[in-house]
């Protein structure tokens, strides 16, 4: 009975805004302790999904459950930390006052949590909210999502508006949450932002989930550029027709190629010569990811 353990579970979840499709027939399970990257271009239905999960909007059809309960149940929302995609913070209230109020409504939080998070993200909470820059608003949003150490974090495009250093700090916070056994659902329109922390990614497009992939499996399928430098020129025949090796180019003592999946065959072939230098670029998951957008063949049915 995997449904008993799922932190997030949806069945046939559908939302139409009038005639306009926001999300159709989403069936998905996110397991405890998992970091799930929810990917798709603008207008794909990510925010719609997330708002349905938090009972901000109500489904046209289908059900959403958090920890096995209806998200309408206020107590269940107490276990969630939520960062909205379009976070609105305004007014003359100081960010620290607003956070204290949120903490109060949540029934209190760990001592010093707000200050620690503010220090990590480097944001000054004594500023009036209406005066915060976009990036600082996003940081305040992250603080309120993390501060009560929720069992489930639902983050809608969390890295938007953050500079790269803060993005790294944020990813570290996500990793720590995962280590602590928490579950994370984060959306993004760029795989690169989530691939280093996610266990699985789901790809949504025009309101439909088109694929769910294990990051490790995706990486295995990934295209990777490799360069090898030898101490002497190598014969091309030694590397011709190796499985998974494409675009082979040999110029004297230098070899470059592209690898689909495992680099095993290439490594074994190269081992017969003296390798002085090896360059392997990070697998370009983006490239595989994009194939999901250009083709409609990947109608992976989740759970099947």
Partner 1 sequence: MPMLVRKTLREYRRALIGWTIGICTFIGLYVSFFPQMRDNPDFYSQAALAKYPEGVRKLMGGLENFTSGAGFLQAVVYQLFVPLLFIMCAVILGNKAIAAPEESGTLELTVTLPVDRKRLVLERFAALAAGLLAVAVVSLTVLTVLAAAVDMDVPFGRILAAHIALYLLVLFFGTLALTVGAATGNKGLAMGVAGAYAVAGYVFTALSRDSQVMDVLSRLTPFHYYSEGNPLVNGLPVGDCLVLLAGTAVLALTAVLSFDRRDVGV
Ligand X SMILES: Nc1ncnc2c1ncn2[C@@H]1O[C@H](COP(=O)(O)OP(=O)(O)O)[C@@H](O)[C@H]1O
Contact positions toward partner 1, by CB under 8 A?
17, 51, 54-58, 74-75, 77-78, 80, 82, 84, 86-93, 101-102, 104-107, 144
Q: Identify the residue among 2, 4, 19, 42 touching ligand X (CB under 6 A).
A: 42
Count each helix (H run) and each strand (E run) in the chain, helices first.
Answer: 10, 13
Q: Which of 229, 201, 199, 220 is CA-nearest to residue 283? A: 220
What order of strands is seen across the sheet that includes strand 254-260? 245-251, 254-260, 223-230, 275-280
Segment 78 to 107, residues that bind ligand X, using CB under 6 A: 85
Instruction: Examine residue 40 and tell whether it contacts ligand X (CB under 6 A).
Output: yes
Instruction: Examine residue 56 and tell whether it contacts ligand X (CB under 6 A).
Output: no
Site string for ligand X, 4-23 (x = CB under 6 A): -------------x--x-x-
CA 246 to CA 266: how far, in whole Å? 11
CA 93 to CA 130: how far, in whole Å? 8
Stretch near ligand X under the rule CB under 6 A, chosen from 44-52, 113-121, 133-141, 221-229: 44-52
Q: Which residue is nearest to Mg ion (CB)?
A: 47
Nearer to Mg ion, 47 or 138 (CB): 47
Q: How are beta strands 20-30 and 254-260 bridged, if at all? A: unpaired
45 touches which of Mg ion, ligand X, partner 1, none (CB within 5 to 8 A by kind)?
ligand X
**Strand ranges (E), 163-266:** 183-188, 200-205, 208-214, 223-230, 245-251, 254-260
Report the DSSP beta bridge partners of residue 256. 227, 249
Nearer to ligand X, 37 or 283 (CB): 37
Instruction: Examine residue 158 and tell whether it contacts ligand X (CB under 6 A).
Output: no
Instruction: Summarize as ranges the residues that interact with ligand X (CB under 6 A).
Output: 17, 20, 22, 40, 42-48, 85
């Amino acid at each position: 009975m995997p449904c008993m353990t799922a932190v997030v579970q949806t069945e046939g979840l559908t939302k139409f805004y009038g005639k306009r499709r926001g999300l159709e027939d989403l069936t998905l399970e996110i397991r405890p302790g998992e970091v799930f990257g929810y990917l798709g271009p603008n207008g794909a239905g990510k925010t719609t999904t997330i708002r349905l999960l938090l009972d901000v909007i109500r489904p046209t059809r289908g059900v959403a459950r958090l920890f096995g309960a209806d998200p309408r149940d206020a107590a269940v929302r107490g276990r969630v930390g939520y960062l909205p995609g379009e976070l609105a913070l305004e007014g003359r209230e100081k960010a620290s006052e607003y956070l204290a109020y949120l903490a109060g409504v949540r029934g209190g939080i760990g001592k010093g949590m707000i200050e620690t998070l503010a220090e990590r993200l480097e944001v000054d909470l004594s500023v009036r909210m209406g005066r915060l820059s976009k990036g600082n608003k996003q940081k305040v949003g992250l603080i309120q999502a993390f501060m009560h150490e929720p069992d489930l974090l639902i983050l809608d495009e969390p890295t938007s508006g953050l500079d790269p250093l803060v993005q790294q700090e944020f990813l570290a916070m996500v990793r720590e949450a995962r280590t602590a056994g928490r579950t994370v659902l984060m959306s993004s329109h760029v795989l690169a932002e989530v691939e280093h922390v996610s266990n699985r990614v789901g790809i949504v497009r025009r309101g439909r989930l088109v694929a769910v992939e294990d990051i490790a499996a995706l990486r295995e399928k990934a295209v990777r550029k490799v360069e090898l430098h030898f101490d002497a020129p190598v014969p091309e025949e030694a590397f011709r027709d190796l499985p998974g090796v494409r675009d082979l180019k040999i110029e004297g003592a230098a070899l470059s190629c592209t690898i689909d999946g495992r680099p095993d065959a290439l490594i074994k072939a190269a081992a017969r010569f003296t390798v002085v230098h090896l360059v392997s670029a990070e697998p370009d998951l983006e490239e595989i990811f994009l194939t999901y957008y250009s083709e409609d063949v990947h109608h992976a049915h989740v759970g099947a």
